[in-house]
Structures are given as C-alpha cells and as structure tokens.
Structure 1
Amino acid sequence: MDLQQIAYFVQVADLCSFSRAAHVLGVTQPALSRQVSLLEAELGCRLLHRHGRGVVPTEAGQRMLAHGQALLAHAEQVKRDVRAVIDTGAGRVSIGLPPRVAHCLTPVLLRAFRDSDPQVAINVVEALSAQLREALLAGRLDLALLYDPPATSQLDCVPLFREEMVLVGHPPDGDRLPAAIPVADLGRYPMILPSRPNAIRTVVEAACRTQDVALDIVAEVDAVHTQLRMAAEGQGYTVLPRSTLSATARAADLAWAPIGSPALRNRLVLATSRSKPPGAAGGAVGALIQRIDWTALFEGRPALP
C-alpha cells in the first residue's frame, strides 16, 4: 500500500463516486479506478460496491476508510512536525470566500493582519461554496467559509452566522407581497434560482420537499446581480439573504418579504480539512474570523471588537 492509493480510495469512498473524486483530485477516472483496484488486489478483498448511482464502501471498505483517514491525518502531522523545525514565523494562508463574504471580509482581514502580523501573507480565493468545498478537500485551500456545506467526515466546520432568507421581486402594479410568505406558498411564485449545486438552491428545495411544494422555476441564473435585475423587471422572484438587499442599488425597485413557517435561514461556517489542518498562520486567521460581528460586517459597520 502507498499513501496515494489510500488517499484516492478515501476520496472515492467519501464522495461515493469515482467521477466526482476524479474531478476533486485532478486525475482521470480510469487512473483513479486502477489505483483503487490495485489497493483491492493487494488487500485481497473488495472495498467498494459499484451500482448505477455510484459506489458505497463494503464492510471491509468501511474499515479501510477509517484506517485510511487516520493514516492520512498522521502523515500530515508528520509533515507539520518536520516543517516546524525550520519555521521562521512567517506564513502564507490561502482562504476561500463566497463572493458576497469576500467583498465585506477581505478588507477587514488584510487590515487586521497588516497591523498585527505583517509576515502573514493572505491569499483570498473567491468562488461559490460548492467550488470552495472541493478545493478545500483537494488541499488547495487552508480554510474556507462555506454556506450550508453537505456533511462530510473530512471537514471540521465551526458555525459562524445564520441569516434570514427573503423572497425578492417586483409584484405587478397594484399588488403587494404579504408580510411573510409560508414555504407552502412558494410554488405560487415564478422563481429565478441559481443552478445546482448552490447553497441557496439546496436550502430552498429542502424546505419545499418537507411540505411537498413544487417550485415554478422559470430561469436558472447564478449571478446575484442578474437575478436582481430580472426580478426588478418583473420576470420572476428570487430568494436571497436579507443583507444582500442593502448592498444593491436595485433595492428601491424591489419588494421583499421574509419566508416563514418554517423560517428559512442560511448557515455560514468556517471549514478546515481534517487531513490538512491549517498551520499557525491559518489558525490565527481562523481565530480572527470567529471574532467577527457578522451582522455589523454585512451592514457596513465596524465588525471587530
């Protein structure tokens, strides 16, 4: 066995898919399948059960998954211990941020570390939460802020903030949105939502499934400013965090109402990889992020005590 084969198997078993694992790892699916087959041949047993929708670990695979995760974590710890011998105190931290968070948070982060830790270089990567999660799992980021990430044993997630979701649109002349909109009524509105995978789409669809609501999706649009423009022109309604409205010039052209029964809230978390925990500099960035007053940040007020 070698660590690469183990890492490949762990990724496939965790994602339950050779194709998704190959994408995250940056290898071809045949090469990935061959490495897993070699591992199975060496162990003399099947580790994965293949079916039409992907793969699931066998009983032996589940045991190998637990050992594999522990081995990979130990290997990373060995690297950190060795590197600590020559650590000069300087650090470079790569952090992934969703665009709306990056717009507000990046100046605060850079200012704080320029003043207190000038040797720490921060690299900010902006992308959607689904893309940032994949980059974090692949080891290309030290930490990331994610909206409503799917559960996985490979990430540690610290809750940071929950925000009210609202329905946004431009009702026809003479009409008004109600004071609050039950989830059960969302099917009455033509919806402009981002395409999958997307955190907001996942939250909305999950809530609608619990009440057997069929959404009327008239367009799939990933860019928030385009969603808002279409909503302001009366082409449909979208669902966004409430603070998004305070950051758009189109807010005056839009009506909005909170979604209730149950209330929809997103969940922002600080995520780190268990196989590649952040070093000292990354830990300092994570600690500062956990001190942020997120309501103040999104409202444009001072966000650090």
Structure 2
Amino acid sequence: MAAGAPHHDLPRRQAREAAINLRQLRYFVGIAEVGNITKAAEQLNVAQPALGLQIRQLEQTLQTELLLRHSRGVVLTQAGELLLERARRILQEVEDARRDVRALAGNDQEMLTIGLTPSIMLQIGPDLLIDAKNGIPSVALSLVEELSHVLIAAMERGELNAAFAYGVDQPRPGIERTALFEEELVLIRPIADGPLPETVTLAEALSHDLVQAGERDMVQQLLKAAAEKFSLPLRIVYEAQSVPAMRALVVRGVAASVMPYGTAIEELRAGKLAMQRISDQPPKRTLYLIRPGNAPAFRQQEAVDRFFASVTEHLLESLGSLARRVGS
C-alpha cells in the first residue's frame, strides 16, 4: 500500500478499478466511431438510455469526461481519444486470446465471422451456411447482417474476420481490401396496371418520390452525386434505416427506390414489385472483400479462401448482367 493511503480506501479503490468491463469498452468504441449516441444505440442494438448509463458509469469509474455532448452528437475529449486507442487494443487482445485458447484446448472448430450487407444476405445467405458446412467443416460460420458502413466499423473494432462490403474505395488503416465486382443499381417501384418499359433514364428514375436509407448510406450518396453532376432534381421524401420498411413503402405504392437488386429480390420474384434498369449513367457500386490486415491465418486458410471465392461466384450468378468483374 502506498505510504499515507488510508487502509479503508483500498476496497473502494479496488471496486472502481474492477468496474470497467468489456461491454462498456465496446459501447464506448461504438459511440466514438459514429460520433452519435442515438446512431450507436441502433447499431449496437441496445436502448439509448442503457447505452448512456453505461458510458456515464465508465466516466465515473475513470473520474474523467470521455465525451463532449453537442446538438449534433459527441466528440472525444483528450482522455476519450486515449481510451479509444487502448480500448480497441484490449478488445482485439480478448478476441485473440479467445481464439488461441480454444485452439490450444483442442477444439477442432474455428469461428469464422463474416459480415454481409442486407442485399447479399437476401440473395445467398442460406447458401453460404450450406457451402461452409460442406466445404470447411472444421470452421463454424457466423453471419452478421448490417449496412456497409456498420460492417466497416465492426471490422475496425476487431469483431469480424471478413466482410463483403461496399464503399471501401479508399484505403483504410488496418484493413486489407480486394475489389470483386461492380454492381449496377436499379429502380424498384410499385406494380403498375400495365407493362412497364424495361429501362428508364436517370432523370426519370430520380423524378419519382423516393425512399432511401440515411445520409451515411452509400446509395443515397451516389444518388446525390449523380443529381448534382447532371443538374437533376432529387426527391427523397422518406428515409428509413430499415430495409424491410423501405420495401414496404414501395409495395404500398407511396414511393419508389433506387437500390441493389438483391434488396428487393423476394418481392420481385413474388411479383409484388417491379424493377427497371437505368439506361444512361446507372449508379454503380463496387463490392470488396475486406479483412483485418494483421489477422492470423486460419488452420484451413486455403479452404477459407476457396469459400470466399465461391461467395463471389454465387453473387455474380445471382446478379447476372447487373454485375461486372473488376478488370473485365
């Protein structure tokens, strides 16, 4: 015990030091990366009051302010910046320890956690589980479904072994990326009384009342860039972070949407929605396979790599003429 420290303060100090837990660190990293408690609560799937309580308890434990609240969200204090760096390292170390101990204990199965966007999950999600069981039986596959920017943030937190994501056109520290193919977005609209033309112009597509995901979503960013480039009006009248909610609004006939084919694949097959390709200047996005740059190899790495290649082939088959391999 330090000289002069009262003996009765020791239990209190030990309680403070033991109070930090991994959940608080994960929550703190999630808030820091999006800069907004409300958005972080949605991404972490936790109630906002509970999330705020955990952060306040963390600040009380550390006896310092970690986040500065303002009208648009939060920013990190100097102490918060330091904790963010250390928290990421701690969470990665915990994940590495879990994996290494399981391997040392002789557990034959390694966990492969892959992130997929909603459109990819709808197209081939069940097939991937079957392919993984047949192709890499020594690996337990876990699929995480989120929008691309959420998957990228999860990758940076060390929560994913790999992800198939869009919007990784610029290098990101600590992430390896491989461009797979370019995908054309389409106009999804309500069923009409008569047959619809197979294609529309970009101007015609953007003239509809549209429902799109939020401003951070890549599709909305592409539409805004296209509208600005060609001086076209853009009528986004609804925003919804929920893909099912977007589809439901289109089915009801109150809006259309520019989205990936896979996002509406079930309704298109069932005849509940109609699709039109955009003939001139169709918005496009590139799919990337992203992985942590410093991740250790799997024991069955060659089989895992073959599995990733099969994912790409499944998607290309599903998209048909809407996709083109990078470099082809």
Smaller-chain TM-score bracket: 0.5 to 0.7
Question: Of residues 201, 209, 212 in structure 2, which corresponds to 1:191?
Answer: 209
- 1:190 aligned counterpart, secondary structure: coil
Is 2:107 the counterpart of 1:88? yes
Matches within 5 A, 1:7-18: 7-18=26-37
Q: Deviations for 1:255-286, whole angstroms, at most 9, x for unmatched residues?
A: 432351xx521233345678999965799546
Counterpart CA distance in 1 for 2:258 and 2:140 is 36
Gaps of 5+ in 2: 1-16, 322-328
Question: Of residues 23, 33, 36 in structure 1, which corresponds to 2:58?
Answer: 36
Partner of 1:71: 90
Per the normalisation by structure 1, the TM-score is: 0.66
Greater Cα offset, 197-206 or 71-80 = 197-206
- 1:64 aligned counterpart, secondary structure: helix
Counterpart CA distance in 1 for 2:177 and 2:59 is 32
Distance 1:51 1:265, change over 3 A: same
Q: Deviations for 1:53-73, whole angstroms, at most 9, x for unmatched residues?
A: 111123443343223322332
Counterpart CA distance in 1 for 2:114 and 2:102 is 21
Distance 1:101 1:204, change over 3 A: same
Partner of 2:202: 181
Is 2:184 the counterpart of 1:164? yes
Distance 1:241 1:14, change over 3 A: closer
Q: Deviations for 1:167-217, whole angstroms, at most 9, x for unmatched residues?
A: 4558999996877536xx755x12332443755334323543566654224
Counterpart CA distance in 2 for 1:277 and 1:259 is 45
**Contact 1:142 1:278 survives alignment (8 Å):** no
Offset, 1:85 = 0.7
Identity over aligned pairs, percent? 24
Partner of 2:227: 208
Counterpart CA distance in 2 for 1:283 and 1:3 is 36
Report how many residues are paired. 289
Offset, 1:103 = 4.4
Partner of 1:48: 67
Amino acid at match of 1:256: R
Offset, 1:119 = 3.9
Amino acid at match of 1:21: A
Instruction: Give me the CA root mean square deviation.
Output: 4.8
Partner of 1:257: 278
Distance 1:239 1:258, change over 3 A: farther
**Contact 2:162 2:290 survives alignment (8 Å):** yes
Amino acid at match of 1:258: S
Counterpart CA distance in 2 for 1:246 and 1:51 is 41
Amino acid at match of 1:26: V
Greater Cα offset, 129-138 or 24-33 = 129-138
**Contact 2:177 2:290 survives alignment (8 Å):** yes
**Contact 1:163 1:242 survives alignment (8 Å):** no
Offset, 1:113 = 3.2
Offset, 1:163 = 0.5
Counterpart CA distance in 1 for 2:301 and 2:210 is 37
Offset, 1:149 = 7.4
**Contact 1:171 1:255 survives alignment (8 Å):** no
Counterpart CA distance in 1 for 2:302 and 2:226 is 35
Distance 1:48 1:175, change over 3 A: closer
Greater Cα offset, 169-178 or 108-117 = 169-178
Amino acid at match of 1:190: H
